A and B are shown apart, each in its own frame.
Chain A
């Protein structure tokens, strides 16, 4: 159901953390960074399935672009080797550039899609690229009818 939050600031100030959902990595294609698009049941009442899947698929595409082995990565590798890797003091690697794009995308998704529904996505890089952490917030005014009441969520984050 739609919650009364309209933006990120309101979410952070007037809501309390109820639960956290963790989207795990999908290793079927090997060690490339890819997350499972399976829709978690805890978010069933909070967000539409298609929106969630779109977000995860876009993130997966970004990571695939970052880890793509092709002409540009060869050039970067050879140039870096010739300059004894000192060139990375001056320029950013392609992966770092894509990570910045990802962080902007997540920020934008949080503002437009997730915060109005009382959810917040944490950038996977802050969790060691292991999981996408989705924090589920409840309005402080409502009584404890959170979706995952059986889980123990540590407070004070």
Chain B
């Protein structure tokens, strides 16, 4: 009788998380599923900066100052760091309610609604909360089975409720929410500076070459083409990124999110003022940019306990653990950086928020219930037999 050595690799919680996220590095990195536009962003930034460092910087360092490429490198590092931080971090995803909590909330709702006659539509699930003397409505999320906290919203692309949801940005391949909004803002701000910087010094470079190399015409034939390419990329980028930075600066000074701005939550028509604003620009900026960094409540890297059965999710989107990237074609236009979130239905649709999914191209989650671990390295790994 031979003894079989069983090496059990611990199942980490990220493997069982519902929602349409991709996880890398054993749960350390969290992104949306569609990453094509993010790769484009990376390519544009790295490509343009590489051309700048390769062709313009040597000339400018010699003829003007070596501080120019040094500052460009620092700015480039900052831009990349902010981009990666925005893309890879948890935006503030709210975990779905476990069955006991969901039942408790259901009971509270039924108790509050009283008796609904058969055939009648039950009233919409809304809680009214008074915040700073304004009445704010909290909506019930049928997918996550919770009443969403104020300013939270459900992202239909990632299929998660996100706290202080701003928007889903395909350029960074992730939602922008409470935890990564400041990195997103710093990314757009530093990218604006970098683009303007490269654009300006390209112009300077061309002008200098015009005046200096009248005698010695040894210009490398490739350089003018690269300069033109960089100028074009920067020119178009400046318009969009600087505009976006300006827009977000405006939002920050008013302590609003893009989502609230689009929906016109505080536009004043209904006389509801923004209850979160401190009515002071400096205080608003400080709260958004300098508040303490909020930790992730998702616990992606926690180890799943073997004796506890995973909570049964009534919706079918439980198996989103595959790292395989199937770049699904987005139905949204690539020029529009903003993707609106779902609107909860007025009628009671228990269990599934199916009628409000905006991205219809992605599969609805009809996947086999047992997830395969992408990190299986040992040949004798036994996975949990339960789903």
Residue A13 at the chain B interface, CB threshold 8 Å: no
Contact of B95 among A80, A128, A157 (CB under 8 A): A128
Q: Which residues of A contact B105 (CB under 8 A)?
A: 22
A128 touches B297 (CB 8 A): yes
Q: Which residues of A contact B290 (CB under 8 A)?
A: 69, 73-74, 77-78
Find the B residue at minimum CB distance from A72.
Answer: B292
Contact of B107 among A27, A84, A151 (CB under 8 A): A151
A156 and B386 alpha carbons, distance in the complex (Å):
14
B292 touches A125 (CB 8 A): no
Q: Which residues of B contact A66 (CB under 8 A)?
A: 292
A127 and B151 alpha carbons, distance in the complex (Å):
18
A27 touches B81 (CB 8 A): no
A152 and B102 alpha carbons, distance in the complex (Å):
11
B136 touches A27 (CB 8 A): yes
A69 touches B101 (CB 8 A): no
A125 touches B131 (CB 8 A): no
Q: Which residues of A contact B164 (CB under 8 A)?
A: 31
Q: Which residues of B contact A48 (CB under 8 A)?
A: none
Find the A residue at minimum CB distance from B100.
Answer: A20
For chain B, residues 54 to 91, give those with C-beta under 8 angstroms from any C-beta of chain A: 77-78, 81-82, 85
Residue A52 at the chain B interface, CB threshold 8 Å: no
A93 touches B104 (CB 8 A): no
Contact of B294 among A81, A95, A153 (CB under 8 A): A95
For chain A, residues 1 to 53, give those with C-beta under 8 angstroms from any C-beta of chain B: 20-22, 25, 27-31
Q: Which residues of B contact A86 (CB under 8 A)?
A: 81
Q: A20-B104, A31-B149, A76-B292 are in contact. Are A69 and B297 (CB under 8 A)?
A: no
Residue B270 at the chain A interface, CB threshold 8 Å: no
Contact of B293 among A25, A95, A128, A151 (CB under 8 A): A95
Residue A99 at the chain B interface, CB threshold 8 Å: yes
A10 and B255 alpha carbons, distance in the complex (Å):
50
A156 and B100 alpha carbons, distance in the complex (Å):
12
Q: Which residues of B contact A76 (CB under 8 A)?
A: 292-293
A30 touches B129 (CB 8 A): no
A77 and B287 alpha carbons, distance in the complex (Å):
11
Contact of A81 among B131, B186, B276 (CB under 8 A): B186
Give chain A nearest CB distance to B248 CB in angstroms: 16
Q: Which residues of B contact A81 (CB under 8 A)?
A: 186
Q: A30-B276, A31-B276 are in contact. Are A95 and B292 (CB under 8 A)?
A: yes
Residue B331 at the chain A interface, CB threshold 8 Å: no
Residue A133 at the chain B interface, CB threshold 8 Å: yes
A77 and B98 alpha carbons, distance in the complex (Å):
34
A93 and B287 alpha carbons, distance in the complex (Å):
16
Residue B242 at the chain A interface, CB threshold 8 Å: no
For chain A, residues 75 to 123, give those with C-beta under 8 angstroms from any C-beta of chain B: 76-78, 80-81, 84-86, 88, 93-96, 99
Q: Which residues of B contact A78 (CB under 8 A)?
A: 290
B100 touches A95 (CB 8 A): no
27 contacts between A and B (CB under 8 A): A21-B104, A22-B104, A22-B105, A27-B131, A27-B136, A27-B150, A28-B131, A29-B132, A31-B276, A68-B292, A69-B287, A69-B290, A69-B292, A73-B290, A73-B291, A74-B290, A84-B77, A85-B81, A88-B293, A94-B292, A96-B295, A126-B299, A128-B297, A129-B297, A130-B146, A133-B101, A154-B100
List 4 additional A-B contacts (Cβ < 8 Å) besides A66-B292, A156-B309.
A20-B100, A27-B131, A69-B287, A77-B290
